[in-house]
Copies of this chain bind each other. A is one copy, B any other.
């Protein structure tokens, strides 16, 4: 039987690869490195991969725009699993370099933001040379002579030091020790895993235009069914100022009665609702189920309504 194929943001040494290793060993799967998140997701849609592993949220930057945008339109895909990866950076360079040499630092813009304070303190005169990925500068160093490079050092994920044969100038340079990035496994809607009792459901919702109170009304769709939200982020829809798309994580599984009814309520009221998956929470925390909102309560209420409508309730 063929091994499952996983597209991800490569090459070796990225945080995404670290996430993928948590999901499946390279012995049990085909790893398909891609140049960006959008390509990884496109590979699943094209049938070139079975799954994609992509970052969806970081403590430093919030939702990952490219991932959210790629999932919000096009052929429906869903999140099947989430994986948390601690985010740390190492300041590394070609062998022979020292910290005193460093004036120009290559870094992905997100990496730069996450290490700003450390750099301001230790290398106040350093300038940022933007990189297209966290490992691109490492690969550049590995591939050639340092004399021609437009930078002196790079901020890279710790595994990249060994992968690319670099020298470590400083470790743990990220400003926030607890920073973490949330990765997700993306696959086809037919593969939604069954409820485990500690699940999360991800949605994209557009609010009705020009409705004062539309956000309040959307939140009440959840509240009245006893569904808590663990994440809510808004982004402009992109065609004009003032229209917003909400990316939401709700506690519970699409197969839970309360979640299903809440989502139907959104579907009836909002111009756009897309289900992006129900999957086990990485932290395995079970939601608080409020009085009257367990599945059995919904089933019993339907049975009662049937009797009331039929004239046989007692």
Which residues of A are at the interface with B, using a C-beta cutoff of 8 A? 57-62, 65, 76, 78, 84, 109, 113, 128, 130-132, 150, 176, 178, 180, 182, 188-192, 208, 212-213, 215-217, 219-221, 223-225, 228-236, 238-242, 244, 254-255, 260-261, 263-265, 267-269, 275, 288, 291-293, 297-298, 300-302, 304-305, 308-309, 311-314
Contact = CB atoms under 8 A, between A and B. Distances in A.
Nearest to A188: B311
B313 A189 contact: yes
Nearest to A211: B291
A151 to B, nearest CB: 12
How many monomers of this chain does the complex have?
4
A67 to B, nearest CB: 13
A131 B130 CA distance: 7
Given A309-B254, A311-B189, A269 B291 contact: yes
B59 A240 contact: yes
Output the residue of A192, A309, A313 with the most chain B CB within 10 A. Answer: A309
Contact of A224 (B57, B221, B313): B221
Contact of A182 (B60, B216, B241): B241
Contact of A216 (B219, B242, B261, B292): B219
Contact of A263 (B84, B208, B263, B305): B305
B215 A232 contact: yes
A132 B62 CA distance: 21
Contacts of A78: 311
A204 to B, nearest CB: 13
A192 B239 CA distance: 31
Contacts of A84: 241
A302 to B, nearest CB: 7
Contacts of A192: 309, 311
Given A59-B239, A59-B241, A292-B269, A220 B215 contact: no
Contacts of A225: 265
Given A255-B309, A268-B293, 4 more contacts: A61-B236, A178-B240, A180-B240, A268-B301
Shortest 10 CB-CB distances between A and B: which pairs? A268-B292, A190-B311, A189-B311, A264-B301, A269-B292, A130-B130, A224-B224, A268-B297, A212-B228, A275-B308
B260 A309 contact: yes
A225 B268 CA distance: 10
Nearest to A291: B269
A236 B231 CA distance: 9
Contacts of A130: 109, 130-132
A279 to B, nearest CB: 13
Contacts of A254: 305, 308-309
A223 B269 CA distance: 13
17 contacts: A128-B132, A176-B239, A190-B311, A191-B311, A192-B311, A208-B291, A215-B219, A216-B223, A220-B220, A225-B265, A231-B244, A233-B235, A260-B305, A260-B309, A261-B261, A267-B301, A268-B292
